Chain A
Amino acid sequence: MSNLEDLYREIILDHYRSPRNRGELATPPAHKVEGFNPLCGDEVTVFLDVQDGVLKDIKMTGHGCSISQSSSSLMSGAVKGKPLEQVQATIDMFKELMTVHESSLSKDSERDDEVDLRKLGELAALQGVVKFPVRIKCAVLAWNTLRQGLEEIASSI
């Protein structure tokens, strides 16, 4: 098992203790979407304000473990104010980072990282989560909820 410091980086603990973009947005005009992790009871509610193809604002409420809460907080910082294509690309990149590849299961083969960590910025702090497979679902909860929210907005237009 990997070292605990790989998982609980200082930046993660910081975002857990003081989460960014907490709160609600008025609906409408904002879109509200809820996500649940039925296994551990974690909940997240994401409020999205999309205007002219740009995610103008994002706010979140909910409760959960340090990984789910810091991942939500880091996500909000990474996607706020960005054009939707860029938001989508960030979601895809993060989901790829959180994927356990078959090759990584065998000890002797080092997998080539397909994700450019530099592009992820602060989000790269969460890369340690993939070494603790049970916690991946915590890290991706907010991201899946964001994706669902964007899909709902797209289909309502």
Chain B
Amino acid sequence: MTSFSARRVRADIPLLSRVVNGRTITFLDSGASSLQPHAVINAMSQYYELRHANVHRGVYQTANEATEAYEGSRGAIARFINAPGGAEEVVFTKNTTESFNLLAKSWGASNLKSGDVVLVSEMEHHANIVPWFQLRETTGIEVRFIPVTDDFRLDLSNLDELLRGVKLVSVTSMSNVLGTKNPVKALAEAAHAVGALIAVDAAQSIAHEPTDVTDLDIDFMAFSGHKMLGPTGIGVLWTRQRVLDTMPPFLGGGGMIADVRVDGFTPAKGVARFEAGTPPIAESVGLFAAVRYLEGLGMDNVAAHDHELTADALTRLESTFDGRVRVVGPSNTINRGGVISLDVQGVHPHDVAQVLDQFGVCVRPGHHCAKPLMKRFNLSATARASFGPYSMAKDTDVLIEALESALKMFG
């Protein structure tokens, strides 16, 4: 049984007590990077103070401890996402972007040929677009886009047609701009029905809801540690053991080999083949602590809290501003997470964010690495507020106060 109190989570995050421009910080940029609780920071600093050594090499005490910590983190991730094959399916990368590059350059390059189709969507982050365009240049694959409807959902009315010739569906589980949560399970079923595999960008959803790759019945999942209360510099690519075994190595170097001779090399078996060089060890320790922390909160509780905050914010933004602040994303909370993109009438997102900063409010202005989506809605940028498990309704209070000030200044 887990218990959840956003107030308690807040007390665990040291950065949230910072004062900025004379106001206690109102952090609404968890979609870009979440904040770390003491548990994560302490775990990493204790690791460096007492246990640091390189992994998989030394036989001395601390080297054993470091190896144990690194591999233990892999196990915790496998549990967190319910990986059917356990830790041996979890590849550590630098971040979600690297995970998609690994997917495209290893699995993609060895499994896709000219004319094969990778089906992405118009609401993807550039991390799930550009690697496929790069692969297109070398192999001649086709990159096809699932359109987005006027009410900010995937347009699946023509899915059968879209799936023609598709070998991989690669979609986000939750848009980093719109907050839209996509029907991953249904897409997985549709993809498998035509013999395609499915990859999921879970960078946004991972800290907003429970994740179960077995239940979703997907084939690949990518996410970043720093968006789930963990540190920067570590990410994950999960894939099924049987798929992983067919994938050639990614980066070459130490740690990824079984043998190196003067006439060539033999790659290591398993996940090691994708983890060349000294891996992010301290980061894995931090990620382990973050996973334990989130498990302690209970992801169902986190999802319920996120839902409640989002519903409250959408209602109040609508009633306070009466259209002068438009939400670029679903106006209801059905299949929608706590990422709220704003289009403020007559005020450019950069100016919005600048005025908000004076109130200690942290939001993200820009195109959010989703330019095809921006173009779809004829926008150059939005100002985006996004929640974490430590967010509270009082954050929305300050956001609204600051937005009123921005409207007044530029109105």
Residues on A close to B: CB < 8 A? 1, 4, 7-8, 13, 16, 39-43, 63-67, 69, 132, 135, 138
Known: A4-B358, A13-B410, A132-B354. A41 touches B348 (CB 8 A): no
- The distance from the CB of B383 to the nearest CB of chain A, in whole angstroms, is 11
Encode B356-376 as 1/0 by CB contact (under 8 A) with A: 011000000111000100100
Q: Is B35 an interface residue (CB 8 A)?
A: no
Instruction: Decide: B366 and A4 in contact? CB cutoff 8 A.
Output: no
Identify which of A40, A64, A135 gathers the most chain B CB atoms within 10 Å of its CB: A40
With a cutoff of 8 Å between Cβ atoms, the chain A residues found around residue B20 in the complex are 1
- The distance from the CB of B247 to the nearest CB of chain A, in whole angstroms, is 32
Task: Compute how far the CA of A69 lies from the CA of B357 in the bound complex, rounded to whole angstroms.
Answer: 21
Instruction: Decide: A65 and B350 in contact? CB cutoff 8 A.
Output: yes
Known: A8-B409, A40-B366, A40-B367. A63 touches B21 (CB 8 A): no
Instruction: Decide: A41 and B374 in contact? CB cutoff 8 A.
Output: yes
Query: Which 10 pairs across A and B sit closest by C-beta, in order of nearness?
Result: A41-B380, A65-B348, A65-B350, A41-B367, A66-B351, A41-B381, A4-B358, A65-B351, A40-B366, A1-B21
Instruction: Decide: A66 and B410 in contact? CB cutoff 8 A.
Output: yes
With a cutoff of 8 Å between Cβ atoms, the chain B residues found around residue A16 in the complex are 410
- The distance from the CB of A49 to the nearest CB of chain B, in whole angstroms, is 28
Q: Which chain A residue lies CB-closest to B348?
A: A65
- The distance from the CB of B51 to the nearest CB of chain A, in whole angstroms, is 36
Known: A41-B366, A41-B374. 18 other contacts (CB 8 A): A1-B358, A4-B354, A4-B355, A13-B409, A16-B410, A39-B366, A40-B349, A40-B367, A40-B381, A41-B367, A41-B381, A63-B380, A64-B348, A65-B348, A65-B350, A66-B410, A132-B354, A138-B350
Task: Compute how far the CA of A13 lies from the CA of B411 in the bound complex, rounded to whole angstroms.
Answer: 10
Task: Compute how far the CA of A42 lies from the CA of B351 in the bound complex, rounded to whole angstroms.
Answer: 13
Q: Would you mind naming 19 contact pairs between A and B with Cβ atoms under 8 Å apart?
A: A1-B20, A4-B355, A4-B358, A7-B354, A13-B409, A16-B410, A39-B366, A40-B349, A40-B365, A40-B380, A40-B381, A41-B367, A41-B380, A64-B348, A64-B380, A65-B351, A66-B351, A69-B348, A132-B354
Q: Which chain A residue lies CB-closest to B405?
A: A4
Q: Which chain B residue lies CB-closest to A16?
A: B410
With a cutoff of 8 Å between Cβ atoms, the chain B residues found around residue A4 in the complex are 354-355, 358
**Chain B interface residue number, banded:** 10 to 19
- The distance from the CB of A68 to the nearest CB of chain B, in whole angstroms, is 8
Q: Which residue of B21, B348, B357, B358 contacts A66 across the interface (Cβ within 8 Å)?
A: B348
Q: Which chain A residue lies CB-closest to B360?
A: A1
Instruction: Decide: B350 and A135 in contact? CB cutoff 8 A.
Output: yes
- The distance from the CB of A4 to the nearest CB of chain B, in whole angstroms, is 5
With a cutoff of 8 Å between Cβ atoms, the chain A residues found around residue B354 in the complex are 4, 7, 132, 135
With a cutoff of 8 Å between Cβ atoms, the chain A residues found around residue B365 in the complex are 40
Instruction: Decide: B358 and A41 in contact? CB cutoff 8 A.
Output: no
Instruction: Decide: B357 and A1 in contact? CB cutoff 8 A.
Output: yes
Give the contacts of B6-52 with A (CB-CB under 8 A): 20-21
Instruction: Decide: A40 and B358 in contact? CB cutoff 8 A.
Output: no
Q: Which chain B residue lies CB-closest to A41?
A: B380
Q: Which chain B residue lies CB-closest to A7?
A: B354
Task: Compute how far the CA of A132 lies from the CA of B381 in the bound complex, rounded to whole angstroms.
Answer: 20
Task: Compute how far the CA of A67 lies from the CA of B347 in the bound complex, rounded to whole angstroms.
Answer: 11
With a cutoff of 8 Å between Cβ atoms, the chain A residues found around residue B349 in the complex are 40, 65
- The distance from the CB of B378 to the nearest CB of chain A, in whole angstroms, is 11
With a cutoff of 8 Å between Cβ atoms, the chain A residues found around residue B380 in the complex are 40-43, 63-64
- The distance from the CB of A139 to the nearest CB of chain B, in whole angstroms, is 11
Q: Which chain A residue lies CB-closest to B347?
A: A66
- The distance from the CB of B26 to the nearest CB of chain A, in whole angstroms, is 15
- The distance from the CB of A40 to the nearest CB of chain B, in whole angstroms, is 5
Q: Which chain B residue lies CB-closest to A39?
A: B366
Task: Compute how far the CA of A135 lies from the CA of B357 in the bound complex, rounded to whole angstroms.
Answer: 13
With a cutoff of 8 Å between Cβ atoms, the chain A residues found around residue B351 in the complex are 8, 65-67
- The distance from the CB of B27 to the nearest CB of chain A, in whole angstroms, is 16
Task: Compute how far the CA of A4 lies from the CA of B21 in the bound complex, rounded to whole angstroms.
Answer: 10
Q: Which chain A residue lies CB-closest to B355?
A: A4
Task: Compute how far the CA of A42 lies from the CA of B380 in the bound complex, rounded to whole angstroms.
Answer: 7
Task: Compute how far the CA of A64 lies from the CA of B365 in the bound complex, rounded to whole angstroms.
Answer: 12
With a cutoff of 8 Å between Cβ atoms, the chain B residues found around residue A63 in the complex are 380
- The distance from the CB of A54 to the nearest CB of chain B, in whole angstroms, is 33
- The distance from the CB of A39 to the nearest CB of chain B, in whole angstroms, is 7
Task: Compute how far the CA of A40 lies from the CA of B3 in the bound complex, rounded to whole angstroms.
Answer: 41
Task: Compute how far the CA of A125 lies from the CA of B262 in the bound complex, rounded to whole angstroms.
Answer: 66
Instruction: Decide: A40 and B350 in contact? CB cutoff 8 A.
Output: yes
Task: Compute how far the CA of A26 lies from the CA of B367 in the bound complex, rounded to whole angstroms.
Answer: 32
With a cutoff of 8 Å between Cβ atoms, the chain B residues found around residue A132 in the complex are 354
With a cutoff of 8 Å between Cβ atoms, the chain A residues found around residue B355 in the complex are 4
Task: Compute how far the CA of A66 lies from the CA of B365 in the bound complex, rounded to whole angstroms.
Answer: 14
Task: Compute how far the CA of A66 lies from the CA of B371 in the bound complex, rounded to whole angstroms.
Answer: 21
Give the contacts of B249-276 with A (CB-CB under 8 A): none
